[in-house]
Amino acid sequence: MIPLSAYVAVSAILFITGLLGVLIRRNFIIVLMAVEIMLNAANINLVAFSHYLESMAGQLVALFVIAIAAGEAAVGLAIIIVVFRGKISTNVDEMSLLKW
């Protein structure tokens, strides 16, 4: 029987990995993938606690998150393609149009 703490530890490691990926990497696609990793870290947490607490609510929410993540990936990739067409770059640092 794998204890709950192990699930939480894996989840935390995955989340930190994703967070660092978002903060450090410059490539837009990598950043998007890092966000996916963070979402999945949360999913692990949700499912683990769902099993631990013997409630189906956590697994339901996990399913929702997967669906949203799929939508997010689709919209994010579409934005990337539009930006790439205009700027010939997927570097996040060059995207600063939203500033003052």
Partner 1 sequence: MTDLLIKLIPVFPLLAAIANGLAGSRWSHEIAHRLAWGSVGLSFLSTIGVFVDVLRTGAAHEVVAYQWIFGGDLTINLAYLVDPLTCVMLLVVTGVGFLIHVYSVGYMHGETGFTRFFTYMNLFMVSMLLLVMGNNYVVLFIGWEGVGLCSYLLIGYYYDKISAAKAASKAFVVNRIGDAGFLLAIFLVFINFHTLDYTKVFSQVGQLSPDMATVIALCLLVGAVGKSAQIPLYTWLPDAMEGPTPVSALIHAATMVTAGVYMIVRNHAIFDLSPTAMDIVGLIGGATALFAATIGLVQTDIKRVLAYSTVSQLGYMFLGCGIGAYTAAIFHLMTHAFFKALLFLSAGSVIHALGGEQDIRKMGGLSSKIPWTYRLFLIGTIAIAGIPPLAGFWSKDEIMAHAFTHHRYLLYGMAAAGAFLTAFYMFRLTYLTFYGHSRMDHHTEAHVHESPTVMIAPLTVLGALSLVGGFLGFPPEQGWLHHFLAPVVGAGGEHGVSTGLVLTLMMIATGIAFLGWGLAHYLYSISPATPARWAAMTEPVYRLLLNKYYVDELYDLLFVEPTKKLGLMLDWFDRTVIDGVVRAVGQLAELGAAGSTWVEKHVIYGGLNVIGYGNHLIARQWRQLQSGMVHHYAAIIVAGLFLLALVVQFIVQR
Which stretches of the chain bind partner 1, using CB under 8 A?
19, 22-23, 31, 92-93, 95-100
Is 26 within 8 Å of 91 (Cβ atoms)? yes
For partner 1, the closer of residues 14 and 31 by Cβ is 31
Q: How far is the CB of 56 from partner 1 (least distance, A)?
A: 28
Q: DSSP character for 99? A: -
Helix, strand, coil shares of the chain, percent, nearest 5, are 80, 0, 15
Q: How far is the CB of 43 from partner 1 (least distance, A)?
A: 19
3-state SS string for 48-75: HHHHHHCCCHHHHHHHHHHHHHHHHHHH
For partner 1, the closer of residues 1 and 97 by Cβ is 97
For partner 1, the closer of residues 28 and 46 by Cβ is 28
Q: How far is the CB of 92 from partner 1 (least distance, A)?
A: 6
